[in-house]
Structure formats: C-alpha cells, structure tokens
Structure 1
C-alpha cells in the first residue's frame, strides 16, 4: 500500500507504539504524540502530515485529532492501519460489551485444533499492526477501535452482546451501539445474538454444541455458542470445534481461579470492568460471595446491579473512586459492605471474614484507572496479595 511520507500517531500505549514501529519499518517519518511526552496539544506537529493514526485510548475530542479532521487529514484507527498493512487479511472480527477476549482466544484454539494457520490480534494479544501474516486473523475489536475504520472488512463479523458501557467516553448508549455495529460494515457474514433483531446467523446460550466448554459459567456457554457459530461460518468442522471447546482453559483475569486457602476459593475476575460483566461473574457461583467492587467510574448506574447480586453476596468490599456510588446502591439493595480503600485492604478484610465453602471474588464492575494502569495490573496485584495470604 502507498503511505504518506509523514504520519502522526496519537497515543503511545501498546497499539500506538506498534503502529509507529510498523510505519517506520515502511520508511515513513513518524511523529509520536502522547500526553506523557507533553506534545499532545501541539498543533504545529500536523505540518506536512498526510495521515493521523489514533490509538484506541485517545478520544475523538483530542485537539490534534479535531484539528486534523478540520484540515481534511485522514484519521485512522490502529486496526485500520493494520488491516491495510496486512493487505486486507481474512478477518474474523469479534466485538461486544463482554466476552470478546475469551471468545477470540477460544476461536484461536478452535482454528488451531482444525490445523488452520491463525493469529489472534487486535484488542487482545498482539496489536493488529504487529501481527504476523496468517491465513486467518481472529481480531478482537473494541468500540474505540471501530470508531475510525474506513476499509476494514470482516469475512465473519461477530457481535456477542450489547449493553451500556464506556458511557464516559461515548456520552450516550446510542453512540456506543453505533460504534459497535460498525463491525458489520463490509462484512461477508454476520453472527449475532438471537433476539436482538439484527440480520445474520443467530446464536444463544442454550444452543446445542459439539461439546460442552471447559470454561465455567452460563455467560461462557454463550461465548462458546458464538464461537461455534463463527467457526462453522468459517468452514471449521464440528470435530475441531469440539476439541477447542473441551480443551480451552480460559484467559487470565476472567473468572481465573487463584488459589484455595482453608476451604475458601479466591477468584480473579478483574476484567469485569462494567456491571454486566460483574453480574455474570457473580452468577457463575452458587457459593456465598465476598465481592470486591470498585475502581474508576464509567458513567454506569449501579442500582440494578446491586439488586441483582444481593442474594449471592454475603459482604462487599469497596475500593477506589466508585466507592460512594456503590455504597448508595448497596444500601438501597440491603447488601452489607465495608469501605476498604484499596485492593490490599479489601483482600485482607475478605480473607478474615470468609468461611469454608465461600468465595472471595474480585469482579469490580468498574475500570481500574484510578489506582492501576489497567485491569491486568489490578488482576496481577490481586493474585500477588492472595498468594501471600497465610
């Protein structure tokens, strides 16, 4: 593909750094911009720039992005650049509010069981701009990544579910939904939840499957049904699908068992960064829960969530910025709680209170950015704290 001589990349986290590196490997002059570099408001950097590549964490209101659009400079997401650099790969795209990473990795396992040459990339694993060439690319696509696609098209496009999330960024559910549904633009085949009223191949949690999934939870059976429908649409036989379902162990920070100590199970579900995911996490257990909640706010209302989890929760432990809003919702739902302040305090308090046969679950229903770099760091810290319990 032909690229401009000078490209500005906004946001130097994982995806932006990969995009900048990929462009430089093509001989392009790259202007790297990031808030940490102190140059994200310097409009002079747009001089002679023929393209802006925007990392998913960078909002559309960023001054350089706004100025670029005003000057008719194209703005691409990192996945758009990756798609073009890979010469329009055969893409199996996965989006949805929850379950994207699990379903993407499960599909990778299914394709490998079928002997297919596959790479899993996008919002999970390797950024698309750093992905190797393969016969199939399973690509996790967030709403942030889909905002600025132009030519990216999927052979098979999957929508797992659609519930309010990232309202702090998108402003309203309609804008969030519209970003998600862009995955179907230029898609050959669509895989959609039954009952959502969208055209395509439908799936549901109660679908007959070639095998029962190894990963627990009703929500993961729904993920398995989506993966089965997508794999079949891509021409994978049921024998390989069954092998993938039976052997795939899940991914870190999604209902990840950490340890059992004195009959109490400790489970890391740090990826539950919204109420829908935390609701699913809580529903995966029949045992009484000591539920660690909180983090940075995303514009969600916690009222319905608190009422839904109340019958399962023996006690909640609140951390971070969202503690006040969570406390109000838990008070109204009659759920006992304490304010732990941070994760270390929550783990200690939960460990002291939990009894044999109960579960201490980190399923925060919030983002992590008030106290951690990302949900992975939060989950790793939970793991470390639990492993140090004696």
Structure 2
C-alpha cells in the first residue's frame, strides 16, 4: 500500500524513534532496511531538543503528555509502516479492552488453516511489531495475504492514513487512564480504528451500552457496522424488570446503529448465549465443539466466525477449523499439577475484567490467587463479589497491592502482600489443598516488577519449578 506522497516526506529526512522497547527496535531495523536515516532514543538519553529531527515516531507506550508531542512532528507507528505494505494485503484489526489477544489468536489460526501458513501473519500488540511483520513480507517478496493485527488504544491514537480492511471491537471497560487524558479520550482512540476501516466493522453491542452508561459521546459516522453480542436469556438471577431494561437498552443501541445505515429492524442476529453461536439468525456453531469455554470465549469465537462469514469461508470448514485451535499461551494455560493442585498461568490478564473472566472459569474449585501489578487507573469496582465467591486466599504483588488489599478486606478474603513472584508462589502453594487452583491472573499491567507479561509468566513458571515441598 505504498503511498508515494507519504514516503516522500522521509526522503533525505532525519527520523527519531522514541522508545527502545520491542516496537522501537523493530522500527529502527525497518528504517535501516529502507535506508531511512533514523536514531532511536528514550528518556534515559540526554536530548538538548528535537529541532534536528524532521519526523518523530513514538513507541506506543509514550503517552500524549510527553514533550515530544509538542513538536508537531509526530507520525504514528501504524501510519508509517502501513505506507510500505503491498496493496493486496488485507488487514483485520482487533481492538477492545479485553479479549484482543485471544480473538487475534483464534482468528489467526482459523485463517491459517483456510489460506495456508505463509499467507497469514499475527502482528501488532501481540508480541510481533507491525514493522517486523511488514519487513518480513517485503523480504519474502509476498504480494498478497492477511495480517491479523492486535491494536491497542496507544497504537490507534495517532492513526491518520492507516486503513484496516475489517475490524473487530471486542468489548469496552475503563482502562489505561494513566495514559489517556480521560475515558472519552480512551474511547475515541479505539473508535478511530473503525473510522479508518474500509470494510466491515464488527462491534460488540456491549461497547455502545457501556459507553452510554459512562456518558460518553457515541460515534455517528462509522460505515458498514455489523453488531454482535450476548443473547439475553431468562435466569433466576436477573429479574424480569432488569431483563426488560437490558433488552430496551440493547434495542435502543441497535436502532441507533441500524437507522444510521438505513435499516429499520433492531434485531440482533449475530449473538451467543454462551453455548450456541448464532450467525445471521441461524445456529451455526456450538462452543462445546471447541477447546474453549466461558461466555467471554463464546463472544471471542462469535467475532471470529463473523469475519469468516464476511470472507465467505463456508461454515462447515469454519466449524472444523475451530475444533483444532488450542488456547492462547499465557491465557489460562496449565503449567503443571502437583498433589492435585493445578498451577495456571494467566499472565495475559492485564485488566479487572480479564481477571473476573478468569476467576469465573473454574466452577466450584477454590482458588489461591496471585494478582496485582502496575496501576493503569483501571476500576476494580466489580471485582469484590467474585473474589468473595471464588478466592480462598490472595497473594498481592506490585503497585496495586493496597487497592486490591482493601477489596479483599471488604469481602473477608484472606490476603498477603508479596515482594516477589517467588514469595507469592511459595505462600500460595503452602495455602493450597488438593483440588485447589493456584492462579496467576494479575488483572494489571506488568511494568515495575517485570519487563512485560512474558517475563511475568516466565518468573511464575520458574517459581513453580523451585517448589520443593509439593
């Protein structure tokens, strides 16, 4: 997708890549590959000013409050790299507060079975930077294929020229308020991706419902929206009055979206009840025919089969593909079992909602929880009830120890603040009994104690291996 007018701005120019992490390093190699003069720096370097640079590309972790954003020289990572992508490649972008990685993983493996190993790439927030992926495509002289791109709100913030072929919005909750100026800014950053989607925008109706609850301004000009969501079923927990109110809200949101596209019916035709997955009003798939469980995974799979539907992959083949897809590494992954105690790695859990989903995945088993980490300004207001129901003991780590500790106290959940992963695992193992689960599901970012969620997972596994009394 090479835009000659866009690329001309880099010819003979001096580029500054700000941030030396995985993305910054990949961007530096990308510039070297394209013979673009570029330097890489971060806050550890002494910089007199930015006058000598013509273009500044910030790594996603650099927030808009940083001084580089006052230069007027910012070009986003996605815009910069997208300009070099061969025009026949299709990008399917996935964003949302939770479920991005699992959805990207399922969709990547589904399309890989349909189109072949060398035609589908997994990229973005999912460990492999976009720059690295596009450089690989160019080095192999590939002309067409698919990129499954996990897009964080940080990545979407600077989008100007980037275009996604199709996009998925998994869900929306409060998050990253330590990076964004407010919740509307966080929401707008996510929505920007869909304003730059040229095909179908697949959006969970929960996104609009939650945005409305938060009092956020809703978008009105997203083309080709296809709404999916959870089917409301009568239960003993939800009263008829509440069901009626919930359905009314769903109808109002659906009517808003459909009316903007000239449609009259607010009926949600792409939905799941946690067991059945319904596409275009017809039951197509059963969750128990896959290796996944839980309502959150039913929603993830629903969004993936909708992409398959948009790409005209027949439902019979899609059903067979889904049967062969295993879970995402570091997402509720079994590490080992000792004395009938299971050790589960859910290091990918970086939000309160993903922690709640993890706790809800273990039925009646009692959980020794290891949670906590960097404070992103996330809300933990809905965590208390499920902690009281599921957790027999909590080991808390990182900067959010005090916040989570107060919730544990309010709910009568025994807890302890650990200084290291080794300590947290050791004390959890001493507390656990046969049949229990020791679950690492931080519900927070990894920064501070760990390099990233992979480092956190590795330290958890090593701590488990060190146990000599189980």
TM-score by length of 2: 0.77
Query: Which range moves more in the overlay, 293-302 or 191-200?
Result: 191-200
Report the CA distance between 1:211 and its aligned residue.
Answer: 4.8
SS at match of 1:46: coil
**Bigger mean CA deviation after superposition, 214-223 or 133-142:** 214-223
> What residue ranges of structure 2 are gaps of 5+ in the alignment?
138-143, 209-218, 230-271, 279-283
**Pair member with larger Rg:** 2
| Residue aligned with 2:329, SS | coil
Which of 285, 294, 303 is the equivalent residue of 1:210?
285
Partner of residue 386, structure 1? 464
Instruction: Tell me how far apart the structure 2 counterparts of residues 13 and 196 of structure 1 sit (CA, whole Å).
Output: 31
When residues 54 and 87 of structure 1 are mapped into structure 2, their CA distance, relative to the original with a 3 A threshold, is: farther
Matching of residues 249-288 of structure 1 within 5 Å: 249-286=326-363, 287-288=365-366
Question: Does residue 454 of structure 2 align to residue 376 of structure 1?
Answer: yes
CA contact (8 A) 2:387 2:411 kept: no
The residue number in structure 1 matching 2:254 is none
Distance 1:275 1:123, change over 3 A: same
Distance in 1 (alpha carbons) for counterparts of 2:78 and 2:125? 9
- Give the corresponding residue for 1:42: 48
Residues 343-371 of structure 1, C-alpha deviation per residue, up to 9 Å, x if partnerless? 11111111111111111101111111121
Query: 1:4-19 to 2 correspondence within 5 Å?
Result: 4=10, 5=12, 6-19=14-27
- Deviation string 1:27-82 (CA, Å, 9 cap, x unpaired) is 1110212223x14x431x432x332211101112222232x21xxx3x22212222
**CA-atom RMSD, angstroms?**
1.8
Which position in structure 2 is the counterpart of 1:243? 320
Cα distance change on mapping 1:33 and 1:334 into 2, 3 Å = same
C-alpha distance in structure 2 between counterparts of 1:236 and 1:76, whole Å: 36
Identify which range, 125-134 or 135-144, moves more after superposition: 125-134
For residues 11-31 of structure 1, the C-alpha deviation after alignment (integer angstroms, 9 at most, x for no partner) is 121111111211121111102
Residue 215 of structure 2 corresponds to residue 190 of structure 1: no
- Distance, in Å, in 1 between the alignment partners of 2:331 and 2:114 is 25
Match of 1:99 in 2: 99
Instruction: Give 1:58's aligned residue.
Output: 62
Q: Do structure 1's residue 302 and structure 2's residue 380 form an aligned pair?
A: yes
Conserved in 2, the CA contact under 8 Å of 1:46 and 1:64? no
TM-score (norm: length of structure 1): 0.93
- 1:141-220 mapped onto 2 (5 Å cutoff): 141-187=151-197, 188-197=199-208, 200-204=225-229, 205-206=272-273, 207-208=277-278, 209-212=284-287, 213-220=290-297
Contact 1:16–1:78, Cα closer than 8 Å, also in 2? no
> Unpaired segments of 5 or more residues in structure 1?
none
User: When the two structures are aligned, how many residues end up with a matched partner?
Assistant: 381
Q: Residues 204 and 228 of structure 2 are in contact (CA less than 8 Å); yes or no, is this contact kept in structure 1?
A: yes
Answer yes or no: is the 8 Å Cα contact 1:340–1:346 preserved in 2.
Answer: yes
Q: Is 2:172–2:206's contact at 8 Å kept on the other side of the alignment?
A: no
Aligned-partner SS, 1:170: coil
Note if 1:79 corresponds to 2:90. Answer: no
- Name 2:300's counterpart in structure 1: 223
Give the secondary structure class of the aligned counterpart of 1:85.
coil
